[in-house]
Structure 1
Amino acid sequence: MNDLVRPNIGAEFRRRRLGHFPDAPAYARYRRDYDRAMADLPAPDEVQDVPTGFGTVRVYRFGADGAGAGRPLLLLPGRTASTPMWASNLAGLTASRRAVYTADLLGEPGLSVQSKPFASSADQGVWLAELLTALGLDRTHLLGVSIGGWTAFQLARHAPEKVASLSLLDPANLFGRITWKAVAVSLGSIGPFPESWRLRLLSWISGGADLSGDEPVADLISAGMREFTSFLPPPTYFSDEQVAAVSVPTLAVIAGRSIIHNPDRAADRARRLLAQGVVELWPDASHALNGEFPERVSARVLAFIDQLDADGVPRGRS
């Protein structure tokens, strides 16, 4: 894969408070794991490096060009993850023939390259709106997992006219406050810990999954923790009034075994506040539910957005 945009490498980017790799060998190690994980995805139909005011965003398009197949769907990954985390989901999501886009988050490990520091977490909605404008996408469905779900919600607050719907898979720090367990995982992503500890933390957040074998996505996330330095403002925990003010149709799937927040309280808050919300608590799912239940996730999300494209009315259990 040839890149037109140079990655941020070296101490100068630390001084500028931009996400970066400390040196060329660190980037080479990360890129090896990234390319290996990408090999498990279908071949993208288009690859773009899209400029925004905060940096250049790596975007992939899978499936149709969207003509006559419903509004496009944009996927946003979790923290320290990137496009390869959707490996198990893309086959199902592209089956409807709508255009499916993925983006590596700015300021996170991946192939997006940050050029301007974030002044606050609100800037996450700004660059994402700029990305959709640059792609020529209007009224787009968004699917986000963990911090990707929070980022999608931030876009809906900043530019609701650009959002057709939100599908949020166990979104972080949105309907429930971050727990000490999630903080421990975050500290593990930045501390000088042995690789075995990082894998243990990833297993913990994934509901005890065995990650000791050949797991390209887990290896990539671990490499992002190890090789990349981020300068990200803490995600805002929105007030009841701020959540209720977002009127975008929203499917919120809360993982019953999540360690990110208290699942029951998060589901209750989502049901109470979302203006057009369909809220489901999946008791058997961990925070890594997109990988645990790929067919179920794809079917549920497509049913939700297909219904909206057909008549604009969100339906389902709540």
Structure 2
Amino acid sequence: MPLPASIKHEKNIVFVSNIAIFLILVFGFRFLGWKGILVYAGFLALLLFTIINVWQRPRNIKDTITYQALLIGGFFMVLPFYWMFITSFKSYKEALAFPPTWWPTEFHWKNWVEAWNAPKGNIYGDPPVPLTFTRYFYVSIMVGIVTTCGSFTVSALAAYAFARMQFWGRGLFFYIIIAMMMIPGQVLLIPNYLTLAKLRWLDHYQALIIPWLASVFSIFLLRQFFITIPEDLWDAAQIDGAGRFRFLWQIVIPLSKPVIITAGIFDFLGNWNSLFWPLIVTTRPEMRTLMVGLQAFNQDAGSDFHLLMAASTFAVLPIVIMFFFLQRFFIQGIARTGLK
């Protein structure tokens, strides 16, 4: 059965536009030489995949342009990660070369081992100590998990109270908490530091965990979802003899799994990527997190960029793996939050 003329016209436009994008990329990377082909080889594969999909299932021109724009945006988002990963295998001289090389002339696999086992602790005047990234990973993972679990407990209870319980000043207190999101963290830095110093919590896990056990954003995100849960479920739970806590634990929490995972991802990422706060409240190298440990590669005499890129790959890899397995819940949590 012959295709309608409109579909044939759309297919021709899709084909020509994709070929044009490909030619632009080819000539754009022409000055990089033949090694530059590896940079856009992955993009070309995605481009061909898009062409095949559109060819098999014709879409309108608007959708086609949207997919192409997203494809180009995705390419430029992946490019820094590619650069970080590929630079981790270069020599020190090649990592600083200009114009840059998009593929190492020789793979230095020892960079990863050297970056992992390099003496650490020489951060802003600290004496060198024989620490490896194993310790930094342990501190970061332990602090991230404990903080995320604690933030979930506090945020879920607070969000449930603001969403499902009636008490005087509920709306006022909620708006005050939301207004705290507009206060820059630098304003509270000195008061928080002095408080921890008086409690003698500096250089201890308490300084890295307790200040972040409550997240205003998580409270807001969970509260917005909790208010969408039908009141009939609470009435049915009361008939079965369930109280507030049992209703929250056995009904509300299971229904809110995508939103809870989304809030947990944000909390964990915030702690994992934190640099300034751990740098302020810790002085012992064995108490510092992974992000602070990366500063060991930045010295007064210069930076070991090839080792820094290898260590940065260590730091990014767990987050990429976590997001890969939890992206479905992440998207569902964001999509469901504002629904009623």
TM range, smaller chain:
under 0.3
Give the TM-score, by structure 1 length. Answer: 0.25
Give the TM-score, by structure 2 length. Answer: 0.24
Q: Point out which structure has higher relative CO (alpha carbons under 8 A, 6+ apart).
A: 2
Q: Rg: which structure is higher?
A: 2
Q: In proportion to residue count, which structure has more strand?
A: 1
Q: In proportion to residue count, which structure has more helix?
A: 2
